[in-house]
Structure 1
Amino acid sequence: MHEEGNKTIESTQGRWWLAKNGLPEGPLSHQEITDALKLNRISSADYAYSSDEKEWKPLSDWSGFECGPEESALQSPPAPPVESYPIEPLITNPRLSPMANWICIYTLQISPWLWCFYTISQMTYGTVLDENDPLMGIEALAIFFSMLASLGVTISLFIGGARLRALSRSGPNIIILSIVVATAVNLLLFLWGMVIIAMADQSQFASKTVAAELIDYFVGIVGICEWAFMLTTLFWLRRNARFLPLS
């Protein structure tokens, strides 16, 4: 009598079939499937058929089934909130020292803008010699070469700064080489300019407006500050680059 009562109760709960290799396996009771889940013999992704609902669905979509402890532990949690994402600086690196980060800021942000500033200011106040002077073509060639060389140095500094920020050992070497080349080129252009001025007739100098002269003085002050920082960077990197966390 007792066994017949259990069968009657179990039959009212419906019967289940599991999909195994494209074939139904069963019938199984609700308790048998639950025990198999707890023992990790089956997965919650396995498809099951209910005699009551008359449809196939993954076990995870059926209510009343619990996953085994191991399977529950392996399930991926939901995505963390956006507030937990680290915000990495664009032009600095927290692992670098303050001076190294200032070098990154200069090479990645300040240097390109300074090149644009120098180029626009040069186009604004023009040449030193009058356009009728025979040496004016040589001065224009020197200005063009100066702009081209400064562009190359700016690009090289940007690449070195990007590698330094990425903790690459080649970063300081590229920056040091760029500063050395820039120094040599500017000294050569300075001597070239002095020779042109010495050979030119004083009466052939182009007249400058007050605005052009102010721009010229401002460019000179900015240039002195930039070169002071570049030389400081050169000596600092030669002395401290080996202590940076580079690879």
Structure 2
Amino acid sequence: MQEESNKTIESTQRLWWLAKNGEAEGPLSHQEICDALKSNRIRSTDYAYSAGERVWKPLSDWNEFESGTEDSALKVPPVPPVQSYRIEPLFTNERLPSMANGICLYTLLISPCLWCLYVVSQIISGTILGENAPLVGVEALAMFFEMLASMAVTVSLFIGGMRLRALRRSGPTIIILSIVVATAALLLLIFCLIVLMAMSDQNTFASKTVAVELIDYFVFIIALCEGAFMITAILWLRRNERFLPLS
């Protein structure tokens, strides 16, 4: 009886399970695992489970394959370890090139932060015209509408970035249109401010402290850098959009 049991153990196939995104894939034979390693379908760092030892550890840590009885080999293994779960980046996608991931970072993280910075700086800086200037109300209204337009563009960029990260073909289109609208709105605001300054008397301009002027200068430098990146992003997307793995 003991000899028959030993023969059963020796004749049992060497079955294994591989951890794939938190799930056990198997059972697999020793040869199937070797073939997968040779064809680079799996890596030596992938976690494997042997019914003989009943433990999860990387394939590189297994010196030899052990087998047990057929019943223990076919028993469903325990839940794979936490290290086997695939952790995806929050703002990027590993299938995208570095420039596309940079655009995702800008649209999903940097652009909302910059919008908050611009709003706070506008509140601190105030209007160009003084409180008693006849056209100060027009300037304040123009700045208010520009703030709403920039908020809409920021939301649109965020949606485009989400779709680009999800490898959706509409993502680059939304981002390009959002940048074009943002540029047009900024140029329109600059034109309105120039007209208001031309129509106003020099004495009606508001005086600003040194701290406010430094804040305005700092925000202006950031806006120039952002504008350069936005232009680069448009050119890059227009040229390389068809090569991205989008669906």
TM-score normalised by structure 2 residue count:
0.70
Q: Which digits, 9 at most, give the CA deviation of each residue in 1:4-46, with x for residues without a partner? A: xxxxxxxxxxxxxxxxxxxxxxxxxxxxxxxxxxxxxxxxxxx
What is the DSSP-based 3-state SS (H/G/I as helix, E as strand, rest coil) of the residue aligned with 1:246?
Answer: coil
Question: Which has the larger Rg?
Answer: 1
Residue 89 of structure 2 corresponds to 89
After TM superposition, give the deviation of residue 76 of structure 1 in Å.
2.7
Range with bigger deviation, 180-189 or 94-103: 180-189
Unaligned runs of 5+ in 2: 1-68
Residue 163 of structure 1 corresponds to 163
After TM superposition, give the deviation of residue 198 of structure 1 in Å.
0.4
Unaligned runs of 5+ in 1: 1-67
Residue 179 of structure 1 corresponds to 179
Residue 76 of structure 1 corresponds to 76
Q: Alignment identity in percent?
A: 66
Residue 16 of structure 1 corresponds to none
Residue 128 of structure 2 corresponds to 128
After TM superposition, give the deviation of residue 217 of structure 1 in Å.
0.5
User: How far apart are the structure 2 equivalents of 1:105 and 1:70?
Assistant: 51
After TM superposition, give the deviation of residue 239 of structure 1 in Å.
0.7
Q: Which digits, 9 at most, give the CA deviation of each residue in 1:113-137, with x for residues without a partner? A: 0000000010001000001111000
User: How far apart are the structure 2 equivalents of 1:197 and 1:71?
Assistant: 85
User: How far apart are the structure 2 equivalents of 1:76 and 1:240?
Assistant: 47
Runs of 4 or more above 4 Å deviation: 68-72
User: How far apart are the structure 2 equivalents of 1:70 and 1:233?
Assistant: 59
Matched, 1:115 2:115: yes
Residue 228 of structure 1 corresponds to 228
After TM superposition, give the deviation of residue 83 of structure 1 in Å.
1.3
Matched, 1:239 2:216: no
Q: Cα RMSD between the aligned structures?
A: 1.4
Q: Which digits, 9 at most, give the CA deviation of each residue in 1:53-109, with x for residues without a partner? A: xxxxxxxxxxxxxxx948963x43211011111211000000000000000000000
Matched residue count? 179
User: How far apart are the structure 2 equivalents of 1:70 and 1:200?
Assistant: 91
